Chains A and B, each alone.
Chain A
Amino acid sequence: MTGIIPNPSVFLVMASGQIESAVFPDFEELYCKFSFVHGQDWVVTSGLEEGISQITRKSRDERQLFVWNFPLEITYKSTNPYGWPQIVVSCYGPDMFGNDVVRGYGAVHVPMVPGHHTLDVPMFVPLSTSKLQKFTSWLLGRRPEFVDPKVVAQGEGRDVTRVRSQGHVKISFNVVTRDMKKLGYDVIPSDVTSIPAGTATSVVN
């Protein structure tokens, strides 16, 4: 991987950052799991695809923050921006009976543009199908959960679910890409604007 490859066949996307904090108004303790979901043309070359954070308590000031500062670092190799990686975050925490209960699911794409990004991911949980279910699930501490947390990164089948929003998680990313431009993908605004008129037309033709 040393040196400049004149005609690369893959491009690299490196994202590092943190799951910084979360705001969940009603809960006391939370931890979160993250996992990256990507398309078929993507391969993780280094870094962790999944992880689980420590449990954190809500801050005692007026911000009421859950701070994790949980580092993320992942490098992808890909041939096709289709299926751009997404980070799926799911938060869990004990409820009043001490059962571990899911507090939110959320997903967001890793930013495409290089640079520093701070993302606010709204979180939601699936709802019980009936009032009775809701009560029993509350009582037994077994709330409805997604069969696979990764479904929040896809659109298929979401129509059958009903969810409620729960709070949000702040994630910061520093994104570095390599060779994307060489493969013809312009993501940086200056790239897009700096295409001379002549080449732009030739592309169209």
Chain B
Amino acid sequence: MDAETLREKLRARRRAMNVTMKSDAPDTSVSENTTTGIEELTVGSSMADEYKEEDEETFRSVLASRREMSRRKLEEREKEEATNETLLDALEDQNAVDELLSSPRPQAPASNEITSPRDDTMSTDGTPRARVGQHSALRNRLQAKLQAAKRAGSPSGETSKPPRSRRLKDRMDLSNRFTETVKQHTVMEEEVLLKRIESKLKWKHAITEARASTGQPSDVDCYDFFTKQYEDVAVEEEPAREEQMEGVDEERTEEEETLPPEEQPPTEEDAEDEVEDDQKKLISDVIPNELDWRLFHITAASYPGYHAQLERESLTYFVPSILPTDITKKVDSNTQPRYLEDEGFYVGEKPLVLSKNKNILENRFLRQPDLGKSWFGADGEVESLPNPVKKSSTKPWVESIEDVDGSLVTIYTKACEEDAQSKYLKGSEENELQIDIGTVVFHHHPLMSREHVLASNINRLYDEYLQKRQKNYVNFYTDKLAALRSAVSSLKDSSMLISNSAGVEAHETRINDFTAEIRRTSQQLNTAESSERDLMRGIIAEWGEIKSLRELQDFTNTTTKLTVKREEVNQHQDQQRWDQEVESEVREKKEEYDVTIVAPYKERHRKYQAQLQEWKRNRLKIKQQRRRDQRGSKENLLDAVEGDEDDEGEIMISGNVDKPQKPEKPEAFNEERVRIEVKNLLLEHRRNPGEDRISLQLTNTANITPVGGVPVGESSRRKAMQKSAIILKIVFNGKDVFLTEPKTLTSDFKLHFGSIFRVRIAQWPESLKVQFLEAGLVRNTTFSETFLKVPDVTVHSGNVQLGMVPFVSERVETFEHEGVGSSTPFTLRQHDTNPTSISTKGQLICSVSWGLDGEGHVLAPKGLTNNAADPLNVINPSQNVDPVSAIGAEGIQNPESLSKWVQDSRLDPNDPENAALIPFMESRQDGHGFLYAPDYFRLEQLQEEFNFIADEEFARMNRLRILQLRNEEVNEFRNMTMIPSQEHEVMDSAFTVYERRLREKDSLQVIADRKLDRGMMSEHRLEVLRFRQRVKDAVLHRFYASRHHYTFLDMVHEDQVPDIGTLGASVGKLVEPRRPLKPIRKERKKATAQTLSEGSVKILVNLVRGINIPTRQTPSDVTTDSGTTNPTLPGHNQASKSFLVAPFVAISFQDNVVTSSVAQGPSPSWNEELQVPFFAPNNDYSPSSLQTVDDIIYLHLFDRIVEESQSEEDSSITTRKMQNHWLGSSRIPFSTVYQRGKVEGTFKMKVPPVLLGYELEKQMTPIDPRDRLDIPLNESGKGTYLTLFITLEPTLKPMDPVREKFASQEDELTLHMSATYLSLCNRKYPQRNVKTTVIDMKGESVLVTRYVHPLQPPLELTEGSDPGSLATAEKVARFVSLIPFVSDNVAYVGVCDLWGTCDQFLHMLCGDEEEHAVLLLNYFLHLGKRAYLLLGNAVPEGNSAYVLTVEETTREYFVWNANTGQHYLATDNLSPLKSIGCLVNGDNIWFNIQPHDQPSKVRFELTRGADWKPFFTSKFPRPPTMQSVQPDSLFYVTTDRSYVSRLTDSIERTLKEKIMAWRPRHVTRWNRTCNSLLLQILRNLEQNLNKRNQGEVNHGEQLLRQLGDVKFTGFPMDLPFTDMDGVVSAVRSTEVHKMQDPDVEFSLAVYVHPYPSSVLAVWIYVAAIVNRRRHNL
């Protein structure tokens, strides 16, 4: 290609550029320009001239300079021949860099944002573009271009095409990518990019210089050269590309890119500028224009000034005023504010808001465009209360009611009663309603003929007439009138005799009163008589109608017949009486006239006279004055003052100018006229003189025309009547209870049912309804219903009377036949113009009452109160349900009349009291509207739309179910982790435990059946189980709910502000000794649950020492018995003898057993710390979970016997046999350790009464002087003791007790006193145990003294022994101790300590210390002992309850542990009771305020105020009527013998199986002869239990005698029976089964001693017998 063509192309290119620049800069609509094609490009140059804009001045100049430069370069280049090779060399780099650089340039005009420091001034205008987008686009383009440049292998113009199309494609791809928009480029990236560009530029610059030196074409030439080629191609390509591209943005940038703006053909203007440009060196000359640089215009920051700032702010800011707003703005402009309260409406109490804040709020509302109209109510106040009469009660605001209905789908879900219990009556006693349905009388019925209607009318009138007659008003008033008249006349007579004025006055008033009374009575007589006469007239007229109708229709339909009886009167006498009547009436009128008209007239006249006199005097004065005035004016006309005075005087006078009106004289009494009036009145209202007295009688004696004699219409009516039958249905609480027999209509439309229905009810009566059914062929149709009133308790079948209940039916019925129909118009009478329309109505004669049982008790439910007597009483739940009765409108049973009443009474719809009646206030469309008034709102009305799965499917999916259950913190699922993600991976077994529990809860009956078969669980125990489960569930629920309530302390750890005490302590800390001589145990830090993991918690048992451990039998015994045969070596024998016993302790907990080292001697000292690992359930170490741990720490004391025997063959082999002999055990519940943090003290071990081979009493005199120390201990108490310290490592945080205020039946004063008493006591001695109120099983707090009440112990215990003796007491205590012990902590999760009453305790057969102690105390009280409930601290149980008895004679105080049945002297140091907090009996509570609380140091004189603080004092005496919560007597069920024997067998069988199972590798032989022997011993033991252990010593001998020379290991155990597992584990813990002698035989005896009330003592004797003889042989 030669230079000429090159130039040609360049020129064309420049023209194109020009166009682009112009069009680009102002409106950026590049695409338009470029796509129109090349034609426009050629025209473009002229457009460049037109395009003049001031903004572009700087831009132009820059362009011009550039052009200039490039022109010069071109000229240079023209001189030199461009060689292809060099061009090619440069091409690759050039292309890359050039494109790189040119790419941002086209965008520059389109952006006024400063993207880099090198942006030039071209970008002073144009549309803003997002910076981010620009940069991302930039980068993309750069990448694409670089790639394209690499590809461009040849210098030809075509090479640029593929890269470009590729670019396009890339970009198109990118544009589809979501990620592109997501990506964000930070400033850092931008900088990096720019740096890269800069470095490239430097490099490029160097090249340019090199080129310039070598004469190569410059960049611009190269660029133009190639882009020139592009033009031609682009034109062809344009349309195709257009189709491809979718986003205008991409297109534009693409186009801009291809048309770099550097070059423009020089125009004339430019040429002129050139000269200047040469002289002025612009910045553009210095910086290479390839760099897309821009010029910043930096101006100083402007300060508009404070006031200007304020002004500007005031435009945007709004500070709401705190001043009250103008009320007129808040209500509609043309209305006045309405104050509903003033109008008498109920207005609720608005929430208290500071008026300041309210004003601010209102001011804000007023700023809103609509002035916040919707926020203000009619009174101009912000509506801060919900509208009480809002119709749709949806929670979210909706436009209109249609919206709600449209979007909501109504799903019918079966209504479930939340509290079904309350609907049902308590107890199982019979409650019976008697409903007596007498007669149904139709006043109108559709099948009535016209005659019937008339007859019904006449009947009604006649009824009314009869009523009137019965009351006999006429006679009554006549008599009264006569009596009054005679009284008046006699008064008048006597008035003559009275002389003094006061008497006369009183007399006159009396006469006046009487006359007034006479007037009233005569008027009443008039109305009464006239109404009666009207009635009679009406009846007769109606009768006439009937008669005429009968004649007209020529048949008779009704039996109605009217008889008129006429009573002849004496004409003359009658007339005389009548005249007399008239006379007296007239006289009375006259008197009345005198009193009411004449007397006032006289008075007025007198006044008038006086006034007239006055007036006349005035008149005279005026005249004189006038005369004087006239004279005066003539004398001094100019005296203005005078004139004024005159005027005034004139006015004064003129005011008096009126002459007083003379009172009108009343009309004179016209006697004649009055007489006529009276006569007329009497004639009108009363029986006329001489007129016969008429009495009417309506009889049903008329004969009905038989069917044969009537027309068709009538006969078809009669047929219809015969077919029509009515049934009554009685509906109680919406449930059908009765249906009467169908009764056919009779011609008189009276249906006599005459039946009494007895309804036995189990629910509270809410409504009682009678439905009237019309019997149909297929089904009965209800045409009416009426409500009956549920009677009061006083109404029973003995005293009830039949009443009328009206009913109405609105059903429209028309017939073809003679029947008039119902609610449909018909002409009743021939001459009637208006048709009448009557709806079916009638009366039901019935009664409702409560039934009576055989003894005459009313069978009404208890608690149904007499509503009429006490409308406020709400015990009857029906009052809450029934809106009608809730407002006290009890009598209204008919909803129709109720709604009428509501409308009439104009209730305030805003008053919440009337909420139940709101539906009545609206017009009722359907008859039942009020029953289904919406009482709900929808909380999540769009829930359906957001459900991702249907509810049914949700319920079906196991995985979702697990997730849901876990979320609800159901116990089994609470700590589940990694719930499988797929439905099929969820095992069905995951629910088995949970479902089993649910099943158990629902129907314990199932297990009952199962277990009863095995004879293990009596029904009684099952019931107990169920009850306990229920209580436990309730408590757990409450507990978990409370766990989600956080307090500040739970969340934030904050140091308390130090008060003076803590400051002092911290100061004191500085001076306290480093190592105090008496160190105080510091509270260890409690570990929180989060930091704990499995295995990190241990129980630390610090075993200190044992006391009085049973010793092996004396060596003499051993030697005599088996001295020669004993295989043990003499030396070892000696050694073992020296310490008598080798005890060690095994602690077993949660399947772990830890043993201590073996010590020596009966009083060993281990001083050893044992660690037992603790595992929390579900690995959850939170307090709530630990609370439920009911594991027990067992401490077993063993004696290790080592037998060494030398093998017979080889004397060098010595066989050692180790055997552990169980000596006793003790148990400490984990809950105790957990709750108390530590348990320490000396515990008594439970040692069996007989330990074969061991001596319980130590008989040896100690040789070792150290043993002397033990003497006092050994003397003071019998039994074996262990000194222990048990704690947890780390200390777990015990559950904070849930402090809840429990409901109580105690009165307020008592509760208040109890609170004060408690706080006083706790302040003084916080450690001491004191209780005033405790929580009973119902969850109500009860005063503790109410629990104390003497109760009769079972007779068998007290029979045949002195009730006061200690032996009896021990027996009773044994009985109580045999009731199983279950800690409340475990049963009720420690949250609350529930106290059951004794009957509940015996019923449940389990309880903790309190229940045991209370029962024992009550027994003791019954036995006549002085006994108290002792609340204190004991080991190991901590806060505990004991019983204190006082032996009156010996002044000995015994402390009884009711759990074990043991008793101790109060002075006994080894008794488990460690401190005494308070004593309680039925009368009072005494708190121990002595400095010491150890039982041995406490003085028990309760009257000493310095030692004991009583609860009831003289100031606050005990209420005399303090009822005990305990029953009066306990009922003891005799224990089922067969059950006991079954149980014995069962235990024995199970134990044998177990023992065999525990010895899997050995054969277990049973020595049967021994069994019976052991059984005998057990029986004896039980019987001798209370006889001071007499037979024990010899029973061992007895055994040995029987069995011969055997080695016998074993012991009897007795334990209360709880369940089989307890027995088994007790036996297992003795480790008898571990006897490994090959010849061992086992013997087992089980004896269950039944006590009353299923209290069982289980005795088990397990023995291992080794026959020594056989062994040795």
Contacts and interface: CB of A to CB of B under 8 A. Distances in A.
A144 B1053 contact: yes
Contacts of B1048: 129, 160-161
A79 B986 CA distance: 12
Contacts of B985: 9
B1055 A190 contact: no
Contacts of B1462: none
Given A157-B1046, A193-B178, A79 B981 contact: yes
A98 to B, nearest CB: 17
A165 B938 CA distance: 38
A160 B979 contact: no
Interface stretch (B451-459, B511-519, B970-978, B1236-1244): B970-978
B976 A40 contact: yes
A9 B1058 contact: no
A17 interface: no
B1052 interface: yes
Contacts of A132: 1057
A175 B1052 CA distance: 33
B926 interface: no
Given A40-B975, A126-B1052, A11 B1088 contact: no
B182 interface: yes
B1046 A79 contact: no
B1643 to A, nearest CB: 54
Interface in A174-205: 183, 189-190, 193
Contacts of B1047: 160
A82 B963 contact: yes
B1054 interface: yes
A151 B1051 contact: yes
B713 interface: no
Interface string B169-212: 00000000011001000000000000000000000000000000
A145 B1053 contact: yes
Contacts of B1050: 147, 157, 160
Nearest to A113: B182
B779 interface: no
Contact of B980 (A79, A130, A137): A79
Interface in A104-150: 126, 128-130, 132-133, 136-137, 140, 142, 144-148, 150
Contacts of B1044: 156
A41 interface: yes
Contacts of A151: 1051
Interface residues of B, number: 28
A40 B980 contact: no
Nearest to B1090: A148
Given A40-B976, A157-B1046, A193-B178, A144 B981 contact: no
A11 B1054 contact: no
A129 B182 contact: no
A79 B1057 CA distance: 47
B183 to A, nearest CB: 10
A164 interface: no
Contact of B1051 (A128, A137, A142, A161): A161
A21 B980 CA distance: 38
Contact of B1055 (A9, A40, A142, A157): A142
Nearest to A136: B1057
A129 B981 contact: no
Given A82-B963, A146-B1052, A43 B981 contact: no
B979 A80 contact: yes
A147 B979 contact: no
A144 B1050 CA distance: 12
Contacts, number: 89
Interface string B1043-1078: 010111011111101100000000000000000000
Contacts of A146: 1051-1053
A137 B1052 contact: no
B468 interface: no
Interface string B1358-1375: 000000000000000000
Contact of A133 (B976, B1046, B1057): B1057
A158 interface: yes
Given A9-B980, A183-B981, A80 B963 contact: yes
A10 B981 contact: yes
Contacts of A160: 1046-1048, 1050-1051
Contacts of B963: 80, 82
B1053 A79 contact: no
Contacts of A189: 178, 182
Contacts of A147: 1050-1053, 1088
B966 interface: yes
Contacts of B1057: 130, 132-133, 136
A42 B981 CA distance: 11
B982 interface: yes
A9 B1052 contact: no
B1057 to A, nearest CB: 5
A27 to B, nearest CB: 21
Interface string B950-979: 000000000000010010000000011111
B977 A137 contact: no
A126 B1050 CA distance: 13
Contacts of B978: 10, 40-43, 78-79
Contact of B1052 (A78, A144, A159): A144
A136 B1058 contact: yes
Nearest to A185: B981
Contacts of A7: 982
B182 A158 contact: no
B981 A9 contact: yes
Nearest to B182: A189
Interface string B66-106: 00000000000000000000000000000000000000000
A8 B1046 CA distance: 40
Contacts of A145: 1052-1054
A150 B1090 CA distance: 10
A67 to B, nearest CB: 15
B957 to A, nearest CB: 13
Contacts of A157: 1046, 1050-1051
A111 to B, nearest CB: 12
A148 B975 contact: no
Contacts of A137: 1054-1055
A132 B1056 CA distance: 10
Contact of A40 (B179, B977, B1052): B977
B1088 A148 contact: yes
A129 B979 CA distance: 41
Contacts of A156: 1044, 1046
Interface string A79-93: 110100000000000
A107 B94 CA distance: 53
Contacts of B179: 190
B979 A9 contact: no
B1292 to A, nearest CB: 16
Contacts of B976: 40
A54 B988 CA distance: 50
A129 B978 CA distance: 40
A190 B1088 CA distance: 45
Interface of A: 7, 9-11, 40-43, 78-80, 82, 126, 128-130, 132-133, 136-137, 140, 142, 144-148, 150-151, 156-161, 183, 189-190, 193
8 contacts: A9-B981, A10-B978, A40-B979, A78-B978, A80-B979, A126-B1054, A156-B1044, A161-B1051
Interface of B: 178-179, 182, 963, 966, 975-982, 985, 1044, 1046-1048, 1050-1055, 1057-1058, 1088, 1090
Given A11-B981, A129-B1048, 19 more contacts: A9-B985, A40-B966, A41-B979, A43-B977, A78-B978, A78-B981, A79-B978, A79-B980, A126-B1054, A136-B1055, A136-B1057, A137-B1054, A142-B1055, A144-B1055, A146-B1051, A148-B1090, A160-B1050, A161-B1051, A189-B178
When A and B form their complex, which 7 residue pairs have the shortest distance between CB atoms, in order from nearest?
A: A157-B1046, A79-B981, A144-B1054, A126-B1052, A142-B1055, A40-B977, A160-B1048
